[in-house]
Structure 1
Amino acid sequence: MGRMSRTLPALVAPVLLMSAVPAMAQQSGATDPGIYIRGGLGYSISGEDEIDYSPLWSLGVGYRFTPNIRVDVMADWRDRYIVEGGRGVVPGAADLDSQVENQAYMFNAYYDFATMNLGPVAGVRPYVGVGAGLSTTKVDDATVFVDIDNDNLEGEFRDFFGDEDDQFAWQLMAGVAFDFSTNMFADIGYRYADLGEVGLSSTQGGIDSDLNVHEIMVSVGYKF
């Protein structure tokens, strides 16, 4: 319940933002072939209990082939995940918090549906997409106190060593794009991404968890 109460505002805010977009005239050149650039901000929520959430930044370049087909290459940064654990991993260990940073470089392909008008908002294009690429995840080392006799009096500090790995990643996407003009556009989208695994290890145990995330992103772009 606590996580939901913290994450719900972040999920609702982009929806409210796009609902406030004024009426926009549909432009015939918005879906013409050409190069575009885009950048976005979002929120990434782990699907695993051991990992929480992170802000998300994204930047990339793409090319539109037809009114329906486009591709892009995106660099995504997520640097505020926290791996939580300790108790139950090593007997007597206190809880640990270790920061996780992730960078992903993804090649994405999209299918844009026909442009439509929704009430006062024109130039609306629903889309779906799929992507694959390289995910680089770094987990910080952590030191925790281990109560050897379970009396909170005698113990020792024990090191957990974080992994740093390059792994295959993939993602599925869906959203809605808005054409402000023949060159400017914005979109709000959801994506599910499998970014590989994260791990912490010690001489007596460790933590291994999948980094599967649900993400909401708002981005803006310019088409040349």
Structure 2
Amino acid sequence: MQISKSVPVLLLATSAMYMSQAIAAPADEEGYYGVARVISAERKARNMDSSARPGIGSFVSGDDSQKDMTGSIGVGYRFGNGWRVEGELTLPQSDTFTSGSTAFPASLNQHHIDSRRVMLNAYRDLRITEKLAIYGSAGLGLARLESKGWQGNESRRYGASTQTNLAWSVGAGVAYDVTDRLALDLGYRYVDMGDTESGWNNFANARGLQDEKMKANLISSEFSLGMRWAF
């Protein structure tokens, strides 16, 4: 009788141990996964004072940052040893940054930058518990930046110009395994998308010359909430 009563208990204990291992193990197993992220980004145009402008007056900074929500999708692969890699495509973004000159305080440059990027990211996961891990990341990729805009009013336009740059990123975060297939992560990363510049001015300036263009270095500070699903 005692043996017959012990058998169900042993079976339940063995089953629970097996299930806990099955839930925890896939986080470290080799295999592919898909990922989608919601991103809160602040993009900033640095070095706008390097823009070519008339040799009269001094540079005046304006609005050099933009904040909004965006996102990305990707496919990754876990190597089973704490390392994983992801290919990531971000949603296109459009930003407007302003600057001016002390000689023309009411005639601001409106620098429109359209950006998109594709990245290859590497991650190193350090497991804290069976379900919780912290990670560091680094990425390299390509950023396509298109610059255009106007000065003072929309009839005074700059030419449009497109650059494809090497982009890089570094970041860190925390991940939680909800199930054996689903993981959530919360992270931060810094992204540098390189330099961009518009074409020359297509309007007559104070000196009657085509000698003005807008320049900037575009970076992004990003907080993200991601969902990973193992195939």
TM class by shorter chain equals 0.7 to 0.9
Distance 1:79 1:162, change over 3 A: same
1 CA distance for matches of 2:217 and 2:151? 22
| Aligned counterpart in structure 2 of residue 60 of structure 1, from 74, 77, 83 | 74
Q: CA deviation at 1:27?
A: 2.1
Give the equivalent residue in structure 1 for 2:32: 35
Q: CA deviation at 1:98?
A: 3.9
Q: CA deviation at 1:91?
A: 4.1
2 CA distance for matches of 1:83 and 1:90? 19
- 8 Å contact kept, 2:43–2:67: yes
2 CA distance for matches of 1:197 and 1:132? 16
Q: Deviations over 1:108-152 (max 9, x none)?
A: 111100242xxxxx711100011101110122433534xxxxxxx
- 8 Å contact kept, 1:81–1:99: yes
Matches within 5 A, 1:34-183: 34-47=31-44, 48=46, 50-85=64-99, 87-88=100-101, 91=104, 94-116=107-129, 123-142=131-150, 144-145=152-153, 157-183=155-181
Question: Secondary structure of the residue that 1:61 maps to in structure 2?
Answer: strand
Which of structures 1 and 2 has the bigger CA Rg? 2
Structure 2 unaligned blocks of 5 or more: 1-19, 47-62, 202-209
2 CA distance for matches of 1:89 and 1:106? 40
Q: CA deviation at 1:79?
A: 1.1
Distance 1:111 1:89, change over 3 A: farther
- 8 Å contact kept, 2:110–2:151: no
- 8 Å contact kept, 1:89–1:205: no
Structure 1 unaligned blocks of 5 or more: 1-24, 117-121, 146-155
Distance 1:89 1:173, change over 3 A: farther
Number of aligned residues = 184
2 CA distance for matches of 1:100 and 1:43? 18
2 CA distance for matches of 1:93 and 1:204? 20
The letter for the 2-side match of 1:171 is: S
TM-score (structure 2 length as normaliser): 0.71
Q: CA deviation at 1:90?
A: 7.8
Distance 1:92 1:195, change over 3 A: same
2 CA distance for matches of 1:190 and 1:144? 37
- 8 Å contact kept, 2:107–2:151: no
Matches within 5 A, 1:194-205: 194-200=192-198, 201-202=200-201, 203-205=210-212
